[in-house]
Amino acid sequence: MNELLEVTNLTKSFQLHAGLFAQADQRVYALGGVDLTLRTGETYGLVGESGSGKTTLARTLVQLEAHERGTIRYLSSDGSAWEVRRGDRRNLERYRQEVRYVFQDPSSSLDPRMTVGDLLTIGARQRTRGKDRAGLVARAREGLDHVGLRASDWDRRPSEFSGGQRQRIALARALVTRPRLLICDEVVSALDVSVRGQILELLLDLKNRFGLSMVFIAHDLDVVAYMADRVGVLYGGRMMEEAPSRLLVEKPLHPYTKLLFDSAPGAGIRSRETSAQKLTPTRALTGCPFAPRCPLVIDRCRTEIPLPRAVGPQSGRLVACHRVEAE
Amino acid sequence: MNSLWRRLFRRPLAWGSLVVLVILYLAMSLCEFLAPYDPNHLFEGHSDLPPNLIWYSPQEGLGPQVQTVALVNGVTREYVRVRGEYTPVKFFVPTDPVKLWGVIPLPFHLFGTDYGRDPAGKAQPVFVMGTDNLGRDVFSRILYGSRISLTIGFVGVFISLGLALIFGGLAGYYGGIWDWIIMRLCEFIILIPGLYLILFLRSILSDHMDTGQSYMLITVILSFVGWPGTARMIRGMVHAVKRQDFVSNAQLESMPSLVILFRHIVPQMSSILILSVTLGVPGFILGETALSYLGLGIVDPAVSWGSMINRDATSVSNLLSFPWLFAPGIFLVIVTLAFNFLGELLRDWADPNWKETA
- Domain segments of chain A as ranges: 3-326
Q: Does B244 touch chain A (CB under 8 A)?
A: yes
Residue B279 to residue A165: CA distance in whole angstroms: 39
Q: Residue B222 carries which side chain, given as an amino acid letter?
A: L
Q: How far is CA A127 from the centre of its chain?
A: 26
Give the CATH number, domain containing residue B223: 1.10.3720.10
Cis peptide before A112 (omega within 30 of 0): no
Q: Let me know whether B189 and B279 are in one domain.
A: yes
Name which of B245, B250, B270 is nearest A123 (Cβ-Cβ): B250
Task: Give the lowest-confidence range in A158-167, B111-120, B138-147.
Answer: B111-120
Q: Shortest CA distance to A119 belongs to which of A127, A106, A110, A128? A: A110
The pLDDT confidence band at residue A271, using thresholds 50, 70 and 90, is very low
DSSP A277: -
User: d(Cα A148, Cα A206) in Å, to the nearest integer?
Assistant: 11
From the CB of residue A186, how many other CB atoms can be counted at a distance below 10 Å? 21
Which DSSP symbol is given to B260? I
Instruction: Give the type of residue at B127.
Output: F
Same-domain pairing of B98 and B211: no
Higher pLDDT, B247 or B314: B247
Residue A53 is given by DSSP the state S
Provide, as residue numbers in chain A, all residues whose Cβ is less than 8 Å from the Cβ of B1. Answer: none
Provide the domain count of chain B: 2
256-275 in B: which are within 8 Å (CB) of A? Answer: 256, 259, 263-264, 267-268, 270
Residue with the bigger pLDDT between B77 and A149: it is A149
pLDDT of A277 higher than 60: no
Do the domain assignments include residue B239? yes
Q: Is the residue at B35 inside a domain? A: no
List phi, psi (to 5°) of B23: -60, -45
Please give the helix or strand (H or E) that residue A72 lies within, else none: strand A69-75
Residues 6 or more apart whose Cβ sits within 8 Å of residue A37: A3, A5, A6, A7
Distance of alpha carbon B309 from the chain centroid: 13
Task: With a cut of 70, say whether residue B8 has pLDDT above it.
Answer: yes
**Pairs of residues, one from chain A and one from chain B, whose beta carbons lie less than 8 Å apart:** 61
Write down which residue in B76, B97, B126 finishes a domain. B126
Q: What is the pLDDT of residue A275?
A: 46
Of A64, A127, A159, the CB nearest to B353: A159
- Whether the per-residue pLDDT at A13 is higher than 70: the answer is yes
Distance in angstroms (rounded) separating the CA atoms of residues A40 and A212: 8
Strand partners, A82: A74
Q: Classify residue B254: in a domain, yes or no.
A: yes
Paired with A241 in beta bridges are: A233, A319
Predicted confidence at residue A298, as pLDDT, reads 83
- Asked, for residue B219, whether it belongs to a domain, the answer is yes
Top mean pLDDT of A16-20, A197-201, B125-129, B240-244 is at A197-201
**Is B122 within 8 Å of chain A by CB?**
no
The answer on B217 and B119 residing in a single domain is no
Angle at A31 between CA A25 and CA A32, to 5 degrees: 80
Q: Among A4-13, B180-189, B219-228, B298-307, name the most confident range.
A: B180-189
What pLDDT shows up at residue B190? Answer: 85
Does one domain contain both B304 and B175? Answer: yes
Residue A2 has pLDDT above 80, yes or no: no
A191-205, B57-71, B128-142, B228-242 — which is least confidently predicted?
B57-71
**Is there a contact between A67 and A6 (Cβ–Cβ < 8 Å)?**
no
Task: Find the closest chain B residue to A156 by CA distance.
Answer: B352
Which parts of A139-236 are beta strand (E)?
181-185, 213-217, 230-235
Q: Please report which residue ranges of chain B form alpha helices under DSSP H.
A: 2-10, 12-29, 31-34, 138-174, 176-191, 194-205, 211-241, 245-252, 257-259, 270-293, 305-312, 316-321, 327-350
**pLDDT tens per residue, range A96-111:** 888 999 988 888 888 8
Q: How far is CA A258 from CA A54, A231, A272, B164, in A?
A: 18, 14, 12, 57
Kindly tell me if the per-residue pLDDT of A273 is higher than 50: no
Out of B251, B252, B267, the one facing A113 most closely (by C-beta) is B267
Q: Which domain holds residue B332?
A: 145-350
Band (A20; pLDDT cuts 50, 70, 90): low
Query: Which phi-psi region, left, alpha or beta, contains residue A230 (left: φ > 0; alpha: ψ -120 to 50)?
Result: beta
Q: What is the mean pLDDT of residues B259-263?
A: 85
Work out the average pLDDT over A292-306: 83
B182 and B101 together in one domain: no
- How sure is the predictor about A134, in pLDDT bands with cuts at 50, 70 and 90? confident
- Residue from the list A92, A103, A113 with its beta carbon closest to the beta carbon of B352: A113
Taking the CA of residue A96 and the nearest CA in chain B, the distance in Å comes to 6
Could you tell me if B203 and B302 lie in one domain?
yes
Buried b vs exposed e over B154-183: b needs ≥16 C-beta within 10 Å?
bbbbebbbebbbbbbbbbbbeeeeebeebb
Please state which of the ranges A150-164, A229-243, A311-325 shows the lowest mean pLDDT: A311-325
pLDDT band with cut points at 50, 70 and 90 for residue B358 = very low
Residue A216's Cβ-count burial label (10 Å; 0-12, 13-18, 19+) is buried
Q: What is the mean pLDDT of chain A?
A: 82
List of long-range contacts for A192-199, beta carbons under 8 Å, 24+ apart: A192/A163, A192/A164, A195/A162, A195/A163, A195/A164, A196/A223, A198/A164, A199/A164, A199/A167, A199/A168
**Considering the domain boundaries, does residue B243 fall inside one?**
yes
Count of CB atoms within 10 A of residue B276's CB? Answer: 22
B269 three-class SS: helix
Report, as an integer, the average pLDDT of B56-80: 81
Residues of A in Cβ contact (< 8 Å) with B253: 96, 122-124, 126-127, 177
Per-residue pLDDT of A35-87, as tens digits, reads: 888 988 899 999 888 878 888 898 898 888 888 888 888 888 887 888 888 87
Question: Across the interface, do B270 and A113 touch by the CB < 8 Å criterion?
Answer: yes
Give percent above pLDDT 70 in chain A.
Answer: 88
Residue B288, in any domain of the structure: yes
User: Is the whole-model pTM more than 0.80?
Assistant: no
d(CA A48, CA A235): 6
Most confident of A14-28, A260-274, B262-276: B262-276
Domain membership flag for residue B18? no
B57 has which bridge partners?
B61
Contact A59, A184 (CB under 8 A): no
pLDDT at B2: 58
Residue of A nearest to B266 (CA): A113
Vertex B208: Cα angle to B204 and B214 (nearest 5): 75
**CATH (one of 3.40.630.30, 3.40.50.300, 3.30.365.10, 3.30.750.24) for A3-326:** 3.40.50.300
For B244, which residue in chain A has the nearest alpha carbon? Answer: A108
Same domain, B122 and B156: no
**Is residue B13 situated within a structural domain?**
no
β-bridge mates for residue B53, sequence order? B66
Q: Which of B208-212, B237-241, B351-355 has the lowest mean pLDDT?
A: B351-355
Same domain, B111 and B225: no
pLDDT at B22: 92
| Residues pairing with B87 in the sheet | B66
Question: Would you say B297 and B33 are in contact if contact means Cβ atoms under 8 Å apart?
Answer: no
Mean pLDDT of B347-356: 64
ipTM score of complex: 0.79
pLDDT confidence of B285, banded at 50, 70, 90? confident
Q: Is residue B239 classed as helix, strand or coil in its secondary structure?
A: helix
Nearest CB to B352: which of A64, A159, A173?
A159
- Position A45 scores a pLDDT of 92
The answer on B156 and B203 residing in a single domain is: yes
Q: How confident is the model at residue A276 (pLDDT cuts 50, 70, 90)?
A: very low
Q: How far apart are the first and last CA of chain B?
A: 19
Tell me: the pLDDT tens digits for A203-238? 999 999 998 999 999 888 888 888 899 999 988 888
pLDDT at residue A180 is higher than 60: yes
Average the pLDDT over A141-167 and give the result. 87
**A123 to B352: CB separation less than 8 angstroms, yes or no:** no
Q: Between B117 and B239, whose confidence is greater?
A: B239
Are B119 and B151 contained in the same domain? Answer: no
Do B232 and B109 reside in the same domain of the chain?
no
Q: How far is A219 from chain B (nearest CA, A)?
A: 20
Task: Say what percent of chain A tops pLDDT 90.
Answer: 11
Using CA atoms, how far residue B80 sits from A247, B46, B77, B319, in Å, is: 109, 12, 10, 20
